[in-house]
Structure 1
């Protein structure tokens, strides 16, 4: 531990002059700026003047508690999240988040959100998730001794359903359009703490992106400075925004003179962040077509991702399933097996085809074990194998 949390309150992204106490977490967005058609998130603010520069003299490693002054209070025990490797590949660096305890970046978020549930005295947690988020929330809830309800997509991979149930969570497979209304009812009637979105456009959990900030802290130490660009697989854009916020904090603390350009990397089947950036809207909702990249297949966007792209001078990029599968094969050929969504960052970087004046990081978010159809392939059995079969 590096000392107590220096979190002081919550601040509106719709109007930064509007602030709220740190507790309770505002899981339905900013009450004063949100409307029936647009919800603005809030974020956590800190007493930055009290942050010691020595916090960034440590080696990056597991357990987010090493960054506790710049995180909300950590009430939930660790599973060893964070400290993931940075691997050079094709002239870029790959930040391999599949090395987290439940094999995805979501573990950084859920160490924080389950801590919030404990801090709020909730009797349990509830999450609507197609896979990674549900598994991670179930694992951290189990570690913290809280029951968990996971509202899963009916067409999520069977292996993912088994993964979530392994942690003792109550898993309900429901139609996508029923997940959010049911989650609101569970929150209102049972008092469970929501660790995913409740609002018309995405706000998610106000504390969640704080866990993703730690990726920026690790990159700063692993690279010995700030990258020129970061490409992040993007669904609701909590990852994108969290990494961006982490780098802005490093600059605010006087440790870095620059910040990277942030590139959202969405499946072309949806792309609400790209739509909002292109049209100048604060957030967007778009039709969603089928995509193998189910972890980032989103019709509903939020303001966080739009802010990260615009404020950093980045771009909102769209990639096809074929482009993500090609990047997935490239990663696997180098020993990094990612689900299709996890390869979106590298796919978008390749598609953009641009040189940068400094290091480029592609975040790879989740293990290939989470992919659609994994484990369903039939295997030919050779009855009288010889070396000729090998040749």
Structure 2
């Protein structure tokens, strides 16, 4: 079901009374409310009075254009993003975003953000990323006929760097602290469109989180109701905010009777949103500790994550690598191999150990192929004689009967 975009402009999350035209996207946050120490993100506004509610009668499926009225203009071609499965597991539902075209949730963001680059006539896109975001931006840029520059770090897994290069992107490896100054130079001198953050506290592309709203729309069509809670792996919190905004729109349009609580599931090695909520500040920057969950290992938080958790009545949960690995293993035993960071949603739900009055959804964000150490030699397994002398047809823990 396609249609024209009903997007009308951009609005500051720092002060909703401050609005801007839809074009150009203000990729460095709100100019009037931001300071050098704190940047407030922008969100896209819509003419909700013109939304045809039959939009939500359709089934979840690929191509975000099915939700076009509630997205910014989609000028970049699709790769078939969206329409990911919802699987029941251990009393909760798992929304498996690893089934997107580049095997991560970032495809929803980049369909929208790369569309903005096409719309403004940019020759290419530039992104600072050590993983999923860079690969996805490179893929969508290639599909749209644009150049792509990906600024990454030495810590990025070699397999992910190969993945990015396969799309024809230029990959520049830099120390983490040098990536953002380099990104700004590329924007200023080459005219490339930034599809990742350029500010001290996180703002990101103002159109990007709009792509994540479609997860909320799909969850409604798949469940037939709004869930009671959603647990999201959280780095910069664009996913968290997008899911929350999608459900607030469904409620405001009278499609759902309630909205879920959303939970930020962060690595204990960082946790900027947990720190901001605990200290009562709009956003903060923290020091990083050691972790293998590089996909959510973010020092800088952003105001949109705080808004989503606080306004929904959720919480920010801090998770150790051990808790993440336990959740990752549990998902693998159900046939879902996800990146360590991607298991944070289920790990957060398990750690909270709270009952909810309604469905609970844990979002998984990316494939296990993206993890550190993938492809390295593994210890030798069992011999044939050991297998033949062991338990017959042993099933993994938690496996369903055939």
TM range (shorter): over 0.9
Aligned residue for 2:231, secondary structure, equals: strand
Displacement after TM superposition at 1:75 (Å): 0.4
Q: Distance in 2 between matches of 1:169 and 1:98?
A: 22
**TM-score in terms of structure 2 length:** 0.95
Q: Within 5 Å, give how 1:341-380 maps onto structure 2.
A: 341-378=341-378, 380=380
Name the counterpart of 1:273: 273
| Corresponding residue for residue 103 of structure 1 | 103
Structure 1 position 388, deviation (Å) = 4.7
Counterparts of 2:11 and 2:387, CA distance in 1: 64
Structure 1 stretches of 5 or more lacking a match? none
- Provide the residue aligned with 1:21 in structure 2: 21
Give the paired residue count. Answer: 389
1:380 shift after superposition: 3.9
**Residue equivalent to 2:68:** 68
How far is 1:154 from its partner?
Answer: 1.2
Distance 1:118 1:14 in 2: 28
Q: Is the 8 A contact 1:2 1:55 kept in 2?
A: no
Distance 1:54 1:165, change over 3 A: same
> Matched residue of 1:113: which SS?
helix
Deviation at 1:66, TM superposition (A): 0.1
How far does residue 173 in structure 1 lie from its aligned partner after superposition?
Answer: 1.1
Q: Does 1:191 align with 2:187?
A: no
How do residues 318-329 of structure 1 correspond to structure 2 at under 5 angstroms? 318-329=318-329
Alignment of structure 1 residues 280-319 onto 2, 5 Å: 280-319=280-319
Q: CA RMSD in A?
A: 1.1
Does the CA contact (< 8 Å) of 1:97 and 1:366 recur in 2? yes
Report the counterpart of residue 58 of structure 1 in structure 2: 58
Secondary structure at 1:292 match in 2: coil
CA shift digits 1:45-81 (9 cap, x unpaired)? 0000000011001111000000000000000000000
Secondary structure of 1:107's match? helix
- Equivalences for residues 162-181 of structure 1 within 5 A: 162-181=162-181
**Other-structure match for 1:244:** 244
8 Å CA contact 1:234, 1:264 repeated in 2: yes
Q: 1:261: which partner in 2?
A: 261
More off after superposition, 228-237 vs 373-382: 373-382
Deviation at 1:98, TM superposition (A): 0.2
Q: How far did 1:390 drift?
A: 4.8
Q: CA deviation at 1:153?
A: 1.6
Preserved CA contact (<8 Å) 1:266 1:344 = yes
What secondary structure, in the 3-state scheme, does the structure 2 residue paired with 1:109 have? helix
- The match for 1:81 is 81
Partner of 2:155: 155
Contact 1:264–1:317 (Cα < 8 Å) also in 2: yes
**Corresponding residue of 2:392:** none
Stretches of 4+ moved more than 6 A in 1?
none
Any stretches of 5+ residues in structure 2 without a counterpart? 390-402
CA separation in 1, counterparts of 2:386 and 2:293? 38
How far off is 1:277 after superposition? 0.6
Output the CA distance in 2 between the equivalents of 1:38 and 1:378. Answer: 45
Secondary structure, aligned partner of 1:27: coil
The residue that corresponds to 1:220 in the other structure is 220
Q: Deviations over 1:2-26 (max 9, x none)?
A: 2100000000001000000000000
